[in-house]
Amino acid sequence: MTAAVGRLSAVIATALFIFALNWMNDPKTARRGVIAGVVGMAIAVGATWIQPEIVHHGWILLAIAAGFVVGIPLSLVPLTAVPQRTALSHAFGGLAAGLVGVAEYHLWLGEGAGRFTTFRMGALVIEVILGFLTFTGSLMAAGKLQEVRWIPQRPVTYPGQNVVNLGVLGAAAVLGVVFVLHPLATWGGSALLGICGLALLFGVLLIIPIGGADMPTVISILNSYAGLSAVAMGFVLNSMLLVTAGALDGSSGLILSIIMCRAMNRSFTNVLFGAFGTVQKTKAIGEQKEWKQESIEGAAQLLEQARLVVVIPGYGMAVAQAQHKVRELYDQLTKRGLEVRFAIHPVAGRMPGHMNVLLAEANIPYTALAEMDEINPEMPQCDVALVIGANDVVNPAARTVKGSPIYGMPIIDADKAKTVLAIKRSKNPGFAGIDNDLYVQDNTWMLFGDAKAVIGDLVKQFAGGGLH
Ligand code: NAP
């Protein structure tokens, strides 16, 4: 009976996971997606717990309590820290898979040679390698994003690095094959420990040459490793639910990484081995062309006279936490009958959906949001493009400068608007470390300062400064 309940629950939980992923595709249904995922996971845990093989209920309660102790504070981190929070979740998932693999091997030893089929041993080795490399890789990625002092942000590279890295992974794989073929050898336990050690080391080595700003993409790739590790664990534990949940997790992580790489016009190998972030900076454009500055009053007048304003938010809006002020400005402008749209670049900010989440937090209607492909044809009709802390995603060099690290990356065509108002604090470049001619073109005016403060001043100008 409990076995049948277990099977039925597995089907229901899997269906809920699939619906959850589908609903999360759209802001309208995203909340429902989250609830479906949580309910699916609760059903999966409950259905597994009631199985007759589960006898140590005290340990499970302890594990759940430990999960709450770690999980609740993690859920309270600010939105800007969500990428590293996600990395920590993957680290825990990877560690759990790795430890389950090791424990299962030792349990099988007590149950006799019949347990050791080549298939199950192969799955166990894959589970352990992927689990432990995800653990250290994700910890490193979280550390880089959190800017932990003793983990360098910049890519650390040295000659022959890829050979060393592949050598470590290759050694783990060779040891794994030997172990699969001789699981009952007296040195079996030591071989497994060796595999664990090499996988832990590989996770660290994999992340060292990647720059801090590439971590969101790497985290998404590690997400797919964690998912694949769960698939292998499903085969080890003979749990179809784990296989399907892991496959969904692994494939969604992979799809997300592909979307991010495409939106940056970069390949997987370029992200993993390209040491992005060490690119040479070109001569500061400030030396060659003039940056024109606009006052708050002047900017407010430009906005006031516009019919269509396209707001282009970027990483700087997240840093400044300016989204609520942006909402106030949106209210002021729409109250005056202006059309205000938000142009969302798929890799604006530092994580997928970064801008959508911030704007949703400030209750900006999602109907005002437009994807890049939708808004670009309208940019020549746009009276004011208001760039808020965005840089690379509006850099025309992506269209014109062959050899630029962002050449070929699709951008939002802010430069085609009639007027551009750009908010940033300095003349420093953005993530790719390159100059941006948008800021010095004839119809661009800079509003230097922190995005929250500048937008706040604009709002004040509209509210009380005579612009009614
Ligand atoms: P960006 O190119 O990094 O530029 C952000 C700009 O914001 C900077 O030029 C900075 O200039 C400004 N800024 C920072 N803090 C600010 C503040 N408090 N107030 C006002 N301005 C501030 O960002 P982006 O245009 O959003 O492009 C995202 C980049 O990240 C792309 O290159 C993308 O490929 C990469 N990336 C994205 C993802 C993702 O999933 N979204 C993942 C990996 C990589 P100042 O310092 O002068 O203020």
pLDDT number for residue 270: 76
Angstrom distance (rounded) from CA 412 to CA 398: 10
pLDDT number for residue 156: 85
pLDDT number for residue 218: 87
Residue 284 CB neighbour total at 10 angstroms: 11
* Local structure of 252: helix, strand or coil: helix
Is the beta carbon of 349 within 6 A of some atom in ligand 1? yes
pLDDT number for residue 35: 97
Q: Model confidence over 243-289: pLDDT tens digits?
A: 999 999 999 999 988 888 888 777 777 777 766 555 444 545 545 67
Q: What is the mean pLDDT of the chain?
A: 90
Q: What percent of the chain clears pLDDT 90, i.e. is strictly above it?
A: 69
pLDDT number for residue 61: 94
Cβ contacts of 78 within 8 Å, gap of 6 or more = none
Q: What percent of the chain clears pLDDT 70, i.e. is strictly above it?
A: 96
Instruction: Report helix, strand and coil shares of the chain as percent, to nearest 5.
Output: 65, 5, 30
Span 391-397, mean pLDDT?
A: 95
Span 1-27, mean pLDDT?
A: 90
Q: Which of 39-43, 145-149, 325-329, 421-425 has the lowest mean pLDDT?
A: 145-149
Is the beta carbon of 400 within 6 A of some atom in ligand 1? no
pLDDT number for residue 279: 47
The pair of structure tokens assigned to 103 is 């424990």
Higher pLDDT, 463 or 379: 379
Q: What is the DSSP letter of 265?
A: T
Angstrom distance (rounded) from CA 328 to CA 364: 10
The minimum-distance atom of ligand 1 relative to the CA of 424 is: 21
Q: Would you say the C-alpha torsion 89, 95, 97, 100 has a positive or negative sign?
A: negative
pLDDT number for residue 146: 84
Is the beta carbon of 347 within 6 A of some atom in ligand 1? yes
Tell me the Cα Rg of the chain: 26
Distances 442 to 292, 423, 437 between C-alpha atoms, Å: 9, 16, 10
This prediction's pTM = 0.80
* Spatial strand order in the sheet of 308-313: 369-371, 339-344, 308-313, 384-388, 419-424, 444-448
* Local structure of 130: helix, strand or coil: helix
Cβ contacts of 202 within 8 Å, gap of 6 or more = 133, 136, 137, 165, 168, 169, 172
Phi, psi angle pair for 437, to nearest 5°: -70, -15
Kindly indicate the confidence band of residue 57, based on its pLDDT and cuts at 50, 70 and 90.
very high
Distances 104 to 17, 99, 236, 442, 452 between C-alpha atoms, Å: 26, 8, 8, 67, 53
* Local structure of 293: helix, strand or coil: strand
Is the beta carbon of 348 within 6 A of some atom in ligand 1? yes
Span 374-396, mean pLDDT?
A: 97
Angstrom distance (rounded) from CA 270 to CA 256: 16
pLDDT number for residue 116: 87
Span 84-94, mean pLDDT?
A: 92
pLDDT number for residue 280: 47
Q: Kindly tell me if the per-residue pLDDT of 110 is higher than 70.
A: yes
User: What element of type H or E holds 43?
Assistant: helix 30-49
Is the beta carbon of 436 within 6 A of some atom in ligand 1? no
The pair of structure tokens assigned to 456 is 């706040």
- Which amino acid does the sequence have at 37? G
Per the annotation, the verdict on 373 as an active-site residue is: no
- Which amino acid does the sequence have at 145? L
The minimum-distance atom of ligand 1 relative to the CA of 394 is: 25
Span 174-179, mean pLDDT?
A: 96
pLDDT number for residue 288: 65
CA of 432 relative to ligand 1 center, distance in Å = 9
Q: Kindly tell me if the per-residue pLDDT of 142 is higher than 50.
A: yes
The pair of structure tokens assigned to 7 is 């099977």
Q: Which of 22-31, 145-154, 427-436 has the lowest mean pLDDT?
A: 145-154
Which of 425, 446, 454 maximizes ligand 1 atoms within 8 Å of its Cβ, making it the mutation to test the pocket?
425
pLDDT number for residue 286: 47
Q: Which of 24, 17, 11 is nearest to 38 (CA)?
A: 17
Q: Which of 22-26, 213-217, 284-288, 429-433 has the lowest mean pLDDT?
A: 284-288
* Local structure of 382: helix, strand or coil: coil
Q: Kindly tell me if the per-residue pLDDT of 337 is higher than 70.
A: yes
The minimum-distance atom of ligand 1 relative to the CA of 428 is: 47
Q: Which of 392, 413, 435, 457 is catalytic?
A: 392
Is the beta carbon of 320 within 6 A of some atom in ligand 1? yes
Span 180-195, mean pLDDT?
A: 94
